[in-house]
């Protein structure tokens, strides 16, 4: 039984993260032979607070020019499954490569510089299935690996500096100016936990009485600004949430093409539950980044029938919608820094420049 548990653990965690299995009162149920799957029931997740509606009900499109500076074929750099792209204050580009798995750093001109990760495994610096990463002010890279139940900190040179195990399974991560680390966890009644030197300092983000039971409905992208404010864009609902670093809500708003909290299909399985999305096609935020007083959300839901994708722009002080610009292609993730936009699809890294992007109103 112990060998079976070790062999299936990575697969089961991936199923948990993608919303295929949620076990009640226990993390895993390996007794598949004794499980009985009953007819599903449709559940609608209820929020404790109603998010604020945007003043504008329709997108305000702004035309700006994106100049392609460079296109990097990622296969040539041995990056085969790019999932997430981020940038530091110097414009260096970082990509989470799920195939290695590792974090790959490029210069702001697209030159490969360094990889963070010591291969696949459970040893020091090794990763199995990382889901997120962040870069602190020193250039250190922190990587979340739910299967290892570990957060690993690499130096800017790629050496392992420290590791710690959070209280709950980690999914998203950001660093704060004072050195604290904000971690989003699916399991738990609070969304965000703040760690200081690897120890839990506080947690916050109780959004629903159903939060722990149906955590897949609360998946999203986490970002932080230079003042330590946190921003959370829901991936399956048109919602944008912001806290200050002490856990006080700054704003909770509906996005411009707001969708309700997703409906879930809940199955009874051998004393536990399995949960799936009733409509898997509803997928709103692809990625979120914060820069220069704006929140940029790359939107999947609004991209239907378009050649590019809507990049929705919000005021970072109150969450109010500003406008939308069209990206020059379809991407899985993007990051905005000043007049630069870095984006990825399945095969390439794109570096764009737009003089108007920081000033569009």
pLDDT band (50, 70, 90) for residue 303: confident
Could you tell me if 104 and 143 are in contact, meaning their C-beta atoms sit under 8 angstroms apart? no
Mean pLDDT of 169-173: 96
Token pair 């109603």: residue: 50
Could you tell me if 287 and 303 are in contact, meaning their C-beta atoms sit under 8 angstroms apart? no
Token pair 């500076």: residue: 69
Q: Please provide residue 54's backbone torsions phi and psi, each rounded to the nearest 5 degrees.
A: -70, 150
Take residue 342 and report the two structure tokens written for it: 């870095």
Take residue 182 and report the two structure tokens written for it: 């904000």
pLDDT at 238 over 70: yes
Q: Is 42 exposed, middle or buried (0-12, 13-18, 19+ CB in 10 A)?
A: exposed
Could you tell me if 232 and 221 are in contact, meaning their C-beta atoms sit under 8 angstroms apart? yes
DSSP-derived secondary structure for 115-178:
EE---BSSSTT-BSS--EEEE-TTS-EEEEETTTTEEEEE-TTS-EEEEE--SS-EEEEEE-TT
Nearest by Cα to 83 from 69, 94, 68: 94
Take residue 16 and report the two structure tokens written for it: 């948990």
**What was the pLDDT predicted at 38?**
57
pLDDT band (50, 70, 90) for residue 187: confident
Query: What gap in Å lies between CA 246 and CA 251, rounded to an integer?
Result: 14
- Domain CATH number, residue 293: 2.120.10.30
For 258-280, the pLDDT digits (tens) are 888 999 999 887 777 888 898 88
Would you say residue 180 lies in a domain? yes
For 20-51, the pLDDT digits (tens) are 333 333 333 323 344 445 578 899 999 999 99
Q: What sign for the dihedral angle of Cα 120, 92, 181, 27?
A: negative
Could you tell me if 88 and 175 are in contact, meaning their C-beta atoms sit under 8 angstroms apart? no
Would you say residue 264 lies in a domain? yes
Q: Is 119 exposed, middle or buried (0-12, 13-18, 19+ CB in 10 A)?
A: exposed
For 50-80, the pLDDT digits (tens) are 999 999 989 999 999 999 999 999 999 999 9
Mean pLDDT of 124-131: 96
Take residue 305 and report the two structure tokens written for it: 């029938």
pLDDT at 3 over 50: no
**What was the pLDDT predicted at 109?**
95
pLDDT band (50, 70, 90) for residue 4: very low
The average confidence (pLDDT) of the chain is 88
Would you say residue 361 lies in a domain? no
Q: Are strands 239-243 and 199-204 parallel, antiparallel or unpaired?
A: unpaired
Which helix H or strand E contains 69, and what residues bound it? strand 67-73
Percent with pLDDT over 70 in the chain: 89
Would you say residue 358 lies in a domain? no
Token pair 């699916």: residue: 186
Query: What gap in Å lies between CA 166 and CA 235, rounded to an integer?
Result: 23
pTM: 0.89
Would you say residue 359 lies in a domain? no
Mean pLDDT of 295-302: 90
pLDDT at 9 over 60: no
**Position with higher pLDDT, 188 vs 303:** 188
pLDDT at 82 over 90: yes
**Position with higher pLDDT, 290 vs 39:** 290
**What was the pLDDT predicted at 14?**
43
Quote the number of domains for the chain: 1
Mean pLDDT of 141-146: 97
Q: What is the domain range of residue 273?
A: 2-353
Could you tell me if 249 and 262 are in contact, meaning their C-beta atoms sit under 8 angstroms apart? no
């Amino acid at each position: 039984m112990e060998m079976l548990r070790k062999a299936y653990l990575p697969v089961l965690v991936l199923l948990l993260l993608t919303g295929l299995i949620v076990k009640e009162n226990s993390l895993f149920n390996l007794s598949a032979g004794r499980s009985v799957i009953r007819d599903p029931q449709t559940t609608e997740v209820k929020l404790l607070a109603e998010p604020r509606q945007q003043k504008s009900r329709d997108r305000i499109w702004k035309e700006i020019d994106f100049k392609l500076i460079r296109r990097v074929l990622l296969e040539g750099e041995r990056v085969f499954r790019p999932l997430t792209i981020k940038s530091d204050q110097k414009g260096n580009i970082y990509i989470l490569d799920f195939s290695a798995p590792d974090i790959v750093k490029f210069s702001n001109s697209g030159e490969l510089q360094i990889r963070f990760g010591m291969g696949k495994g459970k040893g020091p610096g090794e990763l199995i299935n990382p889901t997120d990463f962040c870069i602190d002010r020193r250039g250190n890279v922190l990587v979340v690996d739910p299967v290892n139940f570990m957060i690993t900190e690499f130096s800017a040179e790629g050496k392992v500096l420290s590791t710690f195990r959070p209280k709950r399974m980690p999914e998203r991560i950001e660093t704060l100016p004072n050195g604290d680390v904000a971690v989003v966890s699916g399991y738990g009644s609070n969304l965000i936990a703040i760690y200081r030197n690897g120890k839990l300092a506080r947690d916050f983000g109780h959004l629903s009485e159903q939060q722990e039971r149906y955590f897949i409905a609360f998946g999203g992208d986490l970002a932080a600004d230079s003042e330590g404010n946190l921003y959370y864009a829901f991936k399956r609902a048109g919602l944008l949430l912001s806290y200050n670093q002490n856990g006080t809500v700054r704003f909770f708003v509906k996005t411009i093409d707001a969708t309700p909290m997703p409906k879930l299909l809940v199955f009874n399985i051998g004393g536990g539950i399995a949960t799936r999305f009733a409509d898997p096609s509803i997928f709103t935020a692809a990625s979120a980044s914060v820069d220069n007083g704006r929140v940029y959300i790359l939107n999947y839901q609004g991209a239907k029938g378009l050649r590019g994708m809507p990049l929705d722009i919000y005021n970072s002080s109150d969450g109010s919608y500003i406008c939308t610009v069209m990206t020059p292609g379809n991407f899985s993730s993007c990051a905005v820094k000043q007049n630069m936009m870095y984006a990825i699809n399945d095969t390439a890294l794109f570096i764009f420049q737009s003089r108007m992007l920081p000033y569009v109103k």
